[in-house]
Structures are given as structure tokens and as C-alpha cells.
């Protein structure tokens, strides 16, 4: 009877142990199923490269588009490289431990932990860059608006500049007309070769050997537009060879005509103009010791006032 009771007690004990072991086994199974799935080394390496490449592309995009963000982007890139290299080093260590299951498992756990950090970093930077993209789009839009305003302002300036240029051209044209209106016209132009008599009088001659100087006399036509004051007539004498006589010692030089061209003159006559002044004479003779001589042939005279030709005459010497 006692033996039978002992056997029953032992049976209950064995059943209890089995129940406990079964419960523990189920607990372990449930706890394992709630953990993150294990990744092998190849999967970790592949995801690491993918995350690194994706974020590098984003950073490169903004590095080209926004110079002002360059320092911040460099910091992000440096942190990315740091985490990427750390995982690469762990992968290299794992490769060395591939024949040691326990050490390899430890390396894989470390790799998964670092991969979590890399995922979190990439997610955070992706959100940050998305915000930067939004701000950049807003800045582009604002810059476009400013550009439109700038172009409108430039168009207005160009329009005003064109109007100013037109006004200047009109003013210059009016000034030219006024200049033409302020020309001293002449009449009764007489051009002679002459000599002085013993009494000091001027006597015309048509003989080259007797000629001592040229003289042009004329009357000025009254012009109310011309302001009283200093004025000038430029005289050109053209010899029989077609050359304008220019001797600096005898007052020769160059002047600008109404078109701005430089022209030689034989002599210039400066005088004070006033409305009642009518007669004027201009004389020219070769300098003492000059090699220039009066030659046989036809001479011509041209007179200029304020850059415009106002008189022309000819004479012949024999």
C-alpha cells in the first residue's frame, strides 16, 4: 500500500516537471518571436550601402543647389562617413570571425545595433533635407518674383534712358540748327593779290613778281542770332598745285569744321563782333625768309565761320 502511494507521488512529480518544462519552452518561443528578425552579414552590408548611397545623393544635390548650406552639408556628410566606416570595420571583423559562430553572432548583434543608428540618422537627415528642399523652393519662387520686379525696373530705366537719348539727340539737332543760325554770312567778297605803294596804300596786282600778299575783304550780313563778342573767320588759300598754304610762322594751323573734321587753314582772323560791324579784311603774306613764292597760275580762297564755308573766290597770277 505504501509502495503504491509512493509511485503515485513520483508520477505526479514527473508530470509537474514536464508541465513546467513545456511552459518554459512556450515562453522562450513567444519571447523569440517578439524580437527583431536576425539579419545576416550580407543583408546588413547591402542595406548599409543603400542607405549611404541614398543620403550621399541627397547631400550632393543640395551641395550644388545651395552654396549657403555648404558648411552644414559638410557636417552631415562627415557624420554619415563616420557611421558608414564604423559599420564597414565591423563587417570586416565579422568576415574574419565567420568560422567562429559565437564571435560571429556577437559581431552581427553589434552590426545590427549600428545599422539601427544609421537608419535613424538617415531618416532624420532625410526629413531635414526635405525641409531644406521646401525652403529652397520658396526661395526660388521669391527670387523669381524679385527677378520680375528687377526686370520691370530695368525696362523702366531703359525706357527712360531711351527717352533721355532721344531728348539729347533732339537738343543736339536744335543746337546744330542754332549754330547754323548763328553763322556770320558775308557778301561782296573780294580776293586780290596786292602790294603796298610808297604811300602805304594797298594796290591790287595780277603779276606774281609784284605780289607781296593776299587780301580778302567782304561785308558781314547782319544776324540778330549772333551774340556780340569774340568771333573768328578761318581763311584757306589754295595754290595753283591744289595745296592749301599752311605756314605756322604766319598763323597757319588746323580747325574743326561743322562735321568735326580737322581742316588746315592759312590764317585765322579773330575780331569782336557787334551788330553794326560790316566790313572786314584779312591779309596774308609769306614769312620773311620763307622759301614759299608767288607762282603763276590760279589761286582760290575759302572762308569759314563756325565750321561752315561762307565764302569762295578765285584769282589768277601771271
What is the tens place of the pLDDT at every residue in 187-242? 999 999 999 998 889 999 999 999 999 999 999 988 888 888 999 999 999 999 99
Secondary structure (DSSP) of the chain: -HHHHHHHHHHHHHHHHHHHHHHHHHHHHHHHHTSPPP--HHHHHHHHHHHHHHHHHHHHHHHHH-GGGHHHHHHHHHHHHHHHHHHHHHHHHHHHTTT-HHHHHHHHHHHHHHHHHHHHHHHHHHHHHHHHHHHHHHHHHHHHHHHHHHHHHHHHHHHHHHHHHHHHHHHHHHHHHHHHHT---EEEEEEEEEEE-TTS-EEEE--TTT--EEEEEEEEPP-TTSPSEEEEEEEEEE-TTSPBP--GGGT-EEEE-TTS-EEEESEEEEEEE-TT--EEEEEE-PPTT-S----SEEEEEEEEETTEEEEEEEEEE-
Domains of the chain: 33-181 (1.20.140), 186-317 (2.60.40)
What confidence score (pLDDT) does residue 102 get? 67
Please determine, for residue 17, whether its predicted confidence score (pLDDT) is greater than 60: no
What confidence score (pLDDT) does residue 36 get? 53
Q: What average pLDDT score do residues 26-50 get?
A: 60
Percentage with pLDDT > 70 across the chain? 77
Please determine, for residue 71, whether its predicted confidence score (pLDDT) is greater than 90: no
What confidence score (pLDDT) does residue 244 get? 95
Classify residue 56 by burial, with Cβ atoms within 10 Å: 0-12, 13-18, 19+: middle
Q: Give the residue with greater pLDDT, 21 vs 213.
A: 213
What confidence score (pLDDT) does residue 66 get? 60
What confidence score (pLDDT) does residue 13 get? 40
What confidence score (pLDDT) does residue 65 get? 64
What confidence score (pLDDT) does residue 29 get? 28
What confidence score (pLDDT) does residue 104 get? 67
What confidence score (pLDDT) does residue 113 get? 79
Q: Give the residue with greater pLDDT, 185 vs 9.
A: 185
Q: Give the model confidence (pLDDT) of 144-193 as tens digits.
A: 888 888 888 888 888 888 888 888 876 665 565 556 667 889 999 999 99
- Against a cut of 0.75, is the pTM above it? no
Amino acid at each position: 500500500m505504501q509502495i503504491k502511494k509512493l509511485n503515485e507521488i513520483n508520477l505526479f512529480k514527473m508530470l509537474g516537471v514536464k508541465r513546467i518544462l513545456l511552459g518554459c519552452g512556450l515562453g522562450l518561443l513567444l519571447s523569440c518571436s517578439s524580437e527583431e528578425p536576425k539579419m545576416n552579414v550580407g543583408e546588413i552590408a547591402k542595406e548599409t550601402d543603400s542607405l549611404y548611397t541614398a543620403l550621399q545623393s541627397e547631400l550632393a544635390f543640395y551641395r550644388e543647389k545651395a552654396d549657403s548650406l555648404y558648411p552644414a552639408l559638410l557636417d552631415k556628410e562627415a557624420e554619415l562617413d563616420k557611421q558608414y566606416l564604423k559599420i564597414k570595420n565591423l563587417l570586416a571583423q565579422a568576415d574574419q570571425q565567420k568560422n567562429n559562430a559565437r564571435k560571429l553572432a556577437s559581431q552581427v548583434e553589434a552590426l545590427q545595433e549600428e545599422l539601427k543608428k544609421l537608419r535613424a540618422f538617415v531618416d532624420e537627415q532625410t526629413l531635414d533635407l526635405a525641409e531644406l528642399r521646401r525652403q529652397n523652393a520658396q526661395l526660388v519662387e521669391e527670387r523669381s518674383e524679385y527677378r520680375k520686379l528687377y526686370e520691370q525696373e530695368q525696362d523702366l530705366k531703359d525706357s527712360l534712358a531711351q527717352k533721355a537719348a532721344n531728348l539729347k539727340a533732339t537738343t543736339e539737332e536744335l543746337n546744330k540748327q542754332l549754330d547754323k543760325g548763328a553763322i556770320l554770312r558775308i557778301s561782296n567778297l573780294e580776293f586780290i593779290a596786292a602790294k603796298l605803294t610808297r604811300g602805304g596804300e594797298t594796290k591790287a596786282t595780277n603779276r606774281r613778281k609784284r605780289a607781296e600778299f593776299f587780301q580778302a575783304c567782304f561785308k558781314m550780313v547782319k544776324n540778330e542770332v549772333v551774340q556780340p563778342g569774340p568771333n573768328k573767320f578761318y581763311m584757306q588759300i589754295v595754290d595753283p598745285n591744289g595745296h592749301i598754304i599752311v605756314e605756322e610762322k604766319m598763323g597757319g594751323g588746323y580747325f574743326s569744321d561743322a562735321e568735326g573734321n580737322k581742316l588746315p587753314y592759312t590764317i585765322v582772323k579773330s575780331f569782336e563782333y557787334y551788330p553794326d560791324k560790316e566790313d572786314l579784311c584779312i591779309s596774308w603774306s609769306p614769312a620773311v625768309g620763307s622759301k614759299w613764292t608767288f607762282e603763276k597760275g590760279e589761286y582760290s580762297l575759302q572762308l569759314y565761320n563756325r565750321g561752315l564755308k561762307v565764302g569762295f573766290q578765285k584769282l589768277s597770277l601771271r
